[in-house]
Amino acid sequence: MTQKLPLYGVVPAAGIGSRMAATIPKQYLTIAGKTIIELSLEPLISHDEIDKIVVAINKHDQWFEQLAIASHPKIITVIGGGERADSVLAGLNELPPQGRVLVHDAARPCLTVEDLDLLINSQQAGKGVILANIVRDTMKRGTTNGTIEHTVDRDLLFHALTPQLFDLKALRTTLAQALSQQVTITDEASAMEWAGFPVKLAIGRSDNIKVTRPEDLNLAQLFLTQQQRIK
């Protein structure tokens, strides 16, 4: 039986979340007494297969080191960059040369252990895998003046979620190449797609939301209560 490569986590947390209109970065807003980033990290920390988690923070960050979770033995920090891809690459560069790595949003607090297991168990040799949801709503492509250009066929359309899991060396090399060529990278899968790597879809839970706008806080709190992670 082939031995599994070690598994690591990278959490880019250098953004400021301007759409939240808050006085602090959104990952440090609280839900039931816990910061969003703590809730996002908890499933990764508790998972036995994940050896180490690199959190990429802003160089001006004054909040993370104050959290109890910052001293957890699995957690290390690194200074992130101006864009998500820069922060992810900074995190990858803190890890060993070989392994598997999953990247998770710092503002996606409702990840369940079941979905994390689904992701890890769905990975096949030589392929990446991401958590995703099937698009259920009618999709419209808009114009710059705020009108509808046309309706998009939603068959085989998916919402890309996180975590996203890849071979560590392949993702590190691909991200570095894409950034050097100024390719627009919106998530890790988009970089791997650009480089021609196959990426599998693992259909996860619809409550794995990313907190982006103020109204998302209440929705996340509802989901976390239903998951019995908070009271």
Positive or negative: CA dihedral 207, 213, 215, 220 = positive
The yes-or-no verdict on residue 125 having pLDDT over 90 is no
Distance CA 231, CA 222 (A): 10
Q: Chain-wide mean pLDDT for the chain?
A: 94
Report the SS3 class of residue 28. Answer: helix
Q: What is the pLDDT of residue 127?
A: 86
Helix locations, the chain, DSSP H: 36-46, 84-92, 113-122, 168-180, 188-194, 214-226
At residue 71 the predicted structure's pLDDT band, cuts being 50, 70 and 90, is: very high
* pLDDT > 90 in the chain, percent: 90
| Closest listed residue to residue 110, CA positions, set 38, 188, 24 | 38
Domains of the chain by range and CATH? 7-226 (3.90.550.10)
Q: What is the pLDDT of residue 23?
A: 84
